[in-house]
Each structure stands twice: as structure tokens, then as C-alpha cells.
Structure 1
Amino acid sequence: MRTSRRTFLRRSTRQSLAALSVGHLATGAPDLVTPPIESASVPTRRKPDHVIRSLPEHMVWGYFGADVPPVYTVKDGDVVEIQTVNPSGVSRTNPEEFYQKNNLPIDAHAQEVIAIMKKVKPEPSGIRGHMLTGPVYIEGAQPGDTLEIRILDLTFPANFGVNSVWPGGGGIPDAVTTRETFVYRYDTKRNVALLKEGVEIPLKPFMGVMALSPPAETGRVSSIPPAFFGGNLDIKHLTKGATLYLPVSVPGGLFTTGDGHGAQGNGEVSGVAIETALTLTARFIVHKGRKLQMPRAETPTHFIAVGLDKDLNRAMKNALMEAVTFMKDELGYTFNEALSIASTGVDFEVSQVVDQTLGVHAMIPKSIFTKRKFSYWT
């Protein structure tokens, strides 16, 4: 940018970083001023350095943990293609039935899903959650660092997705009396998902779950509630071209992903989105000694601050404090100025109300800071 601004991420020796900073610094960390940031030299489209297929041996069913062995090791800066599945609607006892009942082909991807459902075991202690690919060990990532995940591409390996409603689930659990599953078929030429004639949902794919491992002392945790290490954030803006920043708590970070969504409204109010298989292509960049307290994100047009809590009111307050802190500490405004800007120029959106820990995210538009130019890798 042409004018200096404080940020937790100084330009690294290997590559420049997108403009987002992350609010809270490690205790005792000095204030940093970033010089003008140049565009990253690596193109957004490139052949991946690694491909992690959606095979049973690459999957973990529903949990994160420092003791979960990595399925793959990559280097800092590598581009990695990670294939995921989303077996929503598919039963473990008879996985073929879902495809037969809905007139869907049992093609190569469906065969992978069927094999995964038959071979991958749930967590022995009873923890339940999403079918995930990983973990991936990133060389050089150590506790106290930050991992930058640049989302280079998201593609569909199957031409449909699934949404469901069920008693006791979603945002109005007591109002739902019957379970029903809806198959959305994709028209990729027009980039829409079709429920029935006259209902077309624009496709905007994103990964519902992107996480690093929690600290070792936490033990294994379910992938359902999001937390400071990421997880089931369900922020629909984390699509192609976005960047997510997560704190590293264990050696290698142990990145795990899944819960692909073809599209989702803010709130995810039925309990799920258009649940779909997705292939994520991402670049991993380690930032040494720059500690995060909460996930942060960035798009070409916005900074995104995240608030989480079991109570939606507190999640909103946390998102507001994260946004104000970002504008105060990283853009140089006073607390009162930042709060005023948040009230007049920032949108607060409910990410989801269905994941036990609820989410609100603040969309801070870059365009309102007219004296600044924010460079970005895309």
C-alpha cells in the first residue's frame, strides 16, 4: 500500500502477504509497520505440488487432535490439491441406497464415497462430526506461528449436493415435524443449483470446515463447533480468491478440511447448506512468530473479523470487538473512531446458528478507507 499501516504480518523473506492483519499480537510482540506490499509472484493458477485424494486412508471422521497422524507432509509455500467428500444423506450400513433412490450414477466419485463409508471408522470415544480429509503437516509451522491459507480454486467432483431438514435440527428445531432430504442438481454452465422448477440457487462453493489442530492438552475435539483454531466456521465468503489465517498450536499445524458447500445462506438455518463434495486447491504459507487469538480472513474487497460463542449475543459482541481492535491496532484509528466506523460502514453477518458454538463475522470494506491502497495476491 502507499501509506503505512500497522500489521502483525511483516513481509516475509519468501513472499509478500495479503493486507489482512490479525488483531491480537503475542504477548510482548512489538508494533510492526509494513512497507508497501507487492503482488505475489506466484500465479493463482498453477499445477499443484501435491494431490491428496479422497481415499479411506486419507480421511478422519469428525474430529481434530494433536495425536491424529498426518496423512501427508508438504513444505511452506506449497500448493496442495485436497479432495474431499460430503456423504450427507448416505448411510453407513447401505451407502449404495442413496444413489439408487435418487437416480444418481454410482460413478468413480460415488464409489469413493461408498468405500469411505464402509472403511472409515468413527472416533472410538464417540466424538462425531464431519467426514474430513487430512491432517496435512506443513513443514516449518510451529506453535506461536500463523498459517495463511490462500484458496486458489474450488471445484465440484460430483454434479449434485444435498440439503436436509429434520426434527430438532436447524434454527427452529421445535417447528420441524418430519425429516426430508433434498437433492440439488447442478447446472454448471449457468452456475446454479436446481431444487425444482422455478428454484435456482447460485453456486458459490466454499469449505465449511478448515482447521488446524487444537493444542495437545485439549485432546480430541469434535469438528462440529468452531473455535479459535478454525474448524466449522461456515463463513460463505471463504470461496475462491479468499484467504484464511489460523493460529498454529502444534508442530506442523495439522490442517484438516471438509464439509464442502455448494451454496449457503447466512445462518445455515436448516442445519446444513447444500452439502457437496469439493476439491480445494490452496497454498500454505507459514508466518513465523505471529500469533493469532482468533481466525481472520480477507477477500479482494473486505477484511473479515470473526466472533464465536455459544450465545449469539456474545458472538456478536466478540465480532464487534475483533473488528474494532483490527481497525484500531492495524489501521491506526482510535477506539472510538473504530467503533464509529464499525457502526456506519461495517456489516455484521450471522455465519451460522446451528453448530453449537455460533458465529458472527464482520465484513469490513476496504473501499471505505479512501487514502489507502490494499494490495492483494489475486
Structure 2
Amino acid sequence: MSTSRRRFFRQSTRRGIAALALGHVSPSLVEAIVPPVEADLLPEPARRIKPDSVVRSLPENMVWGYFGADVPPVSRIKDGDIVEIQTVNPSGVSRTDPEAFYKTHNLPLDDHAREVIAIMKNVKPEPSGIRGHMLTGPIYIDNAQPGDYIEIRILDLTLPADFGVNSVWPGGGGIPDLVKDRETFVYRYDAKRRTGTFMEGVEIPLRPFMGVMALSPPPETGRVSSIPPGFFGGNLDIKHLTKHTTLHLPVSVPGGLFTTGDGHAAQGNGEVSGVAIETAVNLTAQFIVHKNSGLKQCRAETPTHFIAVGLDKDLNKAMKQALAEAVQFIQTELGFTFNQALSIASTGVDFEVSQVVDQVLGVHAMIPKAIFPKKKFGYW
């Protein structure tokens, strides 16, 4: 195994123990679902995690729609800390009359609804007109400097509300010219079946993940919308980033400045209506700084796969970038020649369209660990 490979996935005994510590997190109706293909590979069953700190979804901890090096952090954590980050997803909720959404859809004005209403009334959009998602953060990670990368271990994902929202609208989604009428669908969750439905005869398995997980872009870019993803992460909408997976993001500013939101209860590859089942999700994650990594593009890992990412406004170019990233990973991190890596990518790697609706389009390469039977891959 190469030195870079060991560095990329080196483990800390102290952090590993912390990641598996028993504890209590905020109550939720539905726990995240571990995909069956991955569940049997986990070293221990899913457990409640005790975070070192909690960032609540209060108006003062939210930023509406943008990232930037000048955005002041709402929390500061240590390298290796476990943090619970609470988020909301006000999809369908009007800023001018937020209560109307709950009344129209016969949803209770409970604590979660009141939290969303307070955020919509008190959090201001970016003054220059940048628009995007309602996000929690940013969080400053001590010891993180430009040139490093941050390993984000997704330890838990919980749903604090019992519903989510999907919409279709003229001009939106993957076939914008064909949509004639706007319509909103409220998906109610079945906690026992772990499904969501908006009508009888339709049951969507719940697999929560964060649509947006980002570090700040470089200072010279100024503030940018959270809608298009970038090398620093953002609105990746990769549905595989569920509980017990890992995201690697390159650091562009001191402290990294991690921001998250746009929770999804479920999404198909492509996110073709323009949105997924948009919902509040509470993320519990561990943040580990890797020094002088040289990582230039976000990557991810699950118990069963490595994930390389391609991003571009042109889907063909996004595909080429995902392929180039996958080949480079197989070549440099796993120890093959370029031609061997390209052959492996062609015969054993699946390329999936993450989303086609976020201005910058996404393709991700699913590189199975099982196709390398003589290599040993430690995980957490």
C-alpha cells in the first residue's frame, strides 16, 4: 500500500473509540437507514453517539443560501471532535406567511414547525441577492489550514420531523418545458416501515442524507450560492452519503468553515424533479484534519465503495472529470498503471448521475472495494 494511500485512510485509535462511544443525541421519529448491502460489513451495530458539542438550528446559527470565507463561524471545534448539527429544510414554506404551509397541508404547528417559522421570519437572505438553501453553520475546525483536507465521518442522521416535501414546477427539474403546473407533494413517514408516501400505493424507502455539506471556497471567490456544487463540496446531492459513510473535502480557508443543510429523506439518482424528499435532518459527524494532503477535489467512501466525483455545467464534461478522478484514484492510491486503471474503471466501476438540476451537474464513480480482493481496506 502506498504512503499516500495510508495517509488518505489512516486511522486514529482514540478517534475510533470516540466514534463508537455510546451516548444520547436529540430524539427523532425515524433513524437513518443503513443500506442492507453495507450493514453486514459494519464492525459493530449502529449505536447512539454522544457528541462533543451541538449546533442547534436557531436563527443565529443559520445562513441563507451561501458560502464565503468572510462568513463568521457560529461554533469552533477541535480536530477529532464529534458534533451534532441540527438543520431545517423549509421547502414549500413561504417567508411572508410561513404558517400557511402547515395549515394548507394539515401539519401540526409543533416545536419543529415553530422552529422553522422563527428561522424564516428572522434569517435574512444575502444582501447582494445570492439565493440558495437554508444552512447551519459555518463551523470552524481547529488545526485546519489551506492545503489540508477534512475527513467528515457521518456517524448518525436522524429525522426530527415526520414528513418531507417534493415539488414539481414549470421551468424546473430535468424536463422543464414539459411541466405545466406547479404541485407540492407532502410525504408522510411510516416509522415502522421506514418509508415515505404521498398517496396510497407508493412507498419510498427512507435513506436520509445531507444534500449540502461544504467547506468555504477560497477567499478570492467571495460569497457564492449554495446551489451549484464545487470542489469544496456543497450541493453534491450524492444519495450514497448516508450513515456510516465518509466525505473528504479540501480546505481553502483557515478553519475550513463547514456548513450543511438541504436534508433529504430519500432521492433517486438525478434528482430529476428538481428536489428530493426535502426534510429536516440532524447530522452527527466527526471532523478529522489531514495535513498537507494535496487533495484538490472532494471524494467519498462507504464501507463497500470509494466514490470519485465529477462536476461541470456540461454533463459530458462532468462525466469525463468523474472518469479522470476515478482513474487517478485507482492509479495513484491503489497502485496500478494508467492503462490498468482505465481498464478497471471500464469493467468494474459504475458511473451514476448524481443530479442534473443544480446548475453545475454531477456524476459520481462508484469504485467497489470487492474488485480488489488482495488489498485490505481499513474503515473506521
**Same fold, TM exceeding 0.5?**
yes
Shift of 1:40: 2.8
- 8 A contact 1:8–1:290 mirrored in 2: no
Tell me the distance in 2 between the aligned counterparts of 1:10 and 1:366. Answer: 18
- 8 A contact 2:15–2:80 mirrored in 1: no
- 8 A contact 1:76–1:139 mirrored in 2: yes
Code of the aligned partner of 1:58: N
Count how many residue pairs are aligned between Structure 1 and Structure 2: 353
Tell me the distance in 2 between the aligned counterparts of 1:39 and 1:66. Answer: 28
Structure 1 residues 104-160: Cα deviation after superposition (integer angstroms, max 9, x where no partner): 111111100000000000000000000000000001111111000000000000000
Which of 52, 57, 62 aligns to 2:60? It is 57
Which of 181, 190, 197 aligns to 1:178? It is 181
Which of 94, 101, 106 aligns to 2:104? It is 101
Tell me the distance in 2 between the aligned counterparts of 1:337 and 1:365. Answer: 16
1:214 aligns with 2:190: no
Structure 2: runs of 5+ lacking an equivalent: 21-47
Shift of 1:161: 0.2
Shift of 1:46: 2.7
Tell me the distance in 2 between the aligned counterparts of 1:240 and 1:333. Answer: 30
Tell me the distance in 2 between the aligned counterparts of 1:261 and 1:11. Answer: 28
Structure 1 residues 160-197: Cα deviation after superposition (integer angstroms, max 9, x where no partner): 00000000000000000110000000002111001211
Shift of 1:212: 0.3
Code of the aligned partner of 1:185: R
1:16 aligns with 2:8: no
Residue in structure 2 matched with residue 326 of structure 1 by the alignment: 329
Deviates more, 1:147-156 or 1:287-296: 287-296
1:361 aligns with 2:364: yes
Code of the aligned partner of 1:191: R
SS for the counterpart of 2:132 is coil
Code of the aligned partner of 2:11: S
Code of the aligned partner of 1:272: V
Residue in structure 1 matched with residue 38 of structure 2 by the alignment: none
Which of 4, 15, 39 aligns to 1:7? It is 4
Code of the aligned partner of 2:361: L
Q: Report percent identity of matched pairs.
A: 76
Residue in structure 1 matched with residue 292 of structure 2 by the alignment: 289
- 8 A contact 2:322–2:363 mirrored in 1: yes
Code of the aligned partner of 2:337: T
Shift of 1:42: 2.8
Tell me the distance in 1 between the aligned counterparts of 2:201 and 2:49. Answer: 38
Structure 1 residues 7-42: Cα deviation after superposition (integer angstroms, max 9, x where no partner): 355289xx717xxxxxxxxxxxxxxxxxxx999333
Tell me the distance in 1 between the aligned counterparts of 2:14 and 2:50. Answer: 23
1:202 aligns with 2:205: yes
Tell me the distance in 1 between the aligned counterparts of 2:14 and 2:278. Answer: 37
Residue in structure 1 matched with residue 45 of structure 2 by the alignment: none
Deviates more, 1:250-259 or 1:42-51: 42-51
Tell me the distance in 1 between the aligned counterparts of 2:138 and 2:244. Answer: 23
Which of 209, 212, 226 aligns to 1:223? It is 226
SS for the counterpart of 2:17 is coil
RMSD: 1.5
Residue in structure 1 matched with residue 376 of structure 2 by the alignment: 373
Residue in structure 2 matched with residue 41 of structure 1 by the alignment: 17
- 8 A contact 1:6–1:332 mirrored in 2: no
Which of 225, 236, 244 aligns to 2:239? It is 236
TM-score by length of 1: 0.91
Tell me the distance in 2 between the aligned counterparts of 1:252 and 1:151. Answer: 19
- 8 A contact 2:171–2:177 mirrored in 1: yes
SS for the counterpart of 1:355 is coil
- 8 A contact 1:72–1:137 mirrored in 2: yes
- 8 A contact 2:19–2:82 mirrored in 1: no
- 8 A contact 1:187–1:193 mirrored in 2: yes
Deviates more, 1:288-297 or 1:319-328: 288-297
Residue in structure 2 matched with residue 309 of structure 1 by the alignment: 312
Which of 185, 189, 193 aligns to 1:190? It is 193
Tell me the distance in 2 between the aligned counterparts of 1:157 and 1:235. Answer: 21
Residue in structure 2 matched with residue 254 of structure 1 by the alignment: 257
Code of the aligned partner of 1:41: I
Shift of 1:198: 0.6
Residue in structure 2 matched with residue 119 of structure 1 by the alignment: 122
- 8 A contact 2:19–2:286 mirrored in 1: no
Tell me the distance in 1 between the aligned counterparts of 2:376 and 2:154. Answer: 22
- 8 A contact 2:88–2:116 mirrored in 1: yes
Tell me the distance in 1 between the aligned counterparts of 2:198 and 2:294. Answer: 44
Code of the aligned partner of 2:53: H
Residue in structure 2 matched with residue 145 of structure 1 by the alignment: 148
SS for the counterpart of 1:10 is helix
Residue in structure 2 matched with residue 21 of structure 1 by the alignment: none
Tell me the distance in 2 between the aligned counterparts of 1:174 and 1:188. Answer: 37
Tell me the distance in 2 between the aligned counterparts of 1:351 and 1:137. Answer: 28
TM-score by length of 2: 0.91
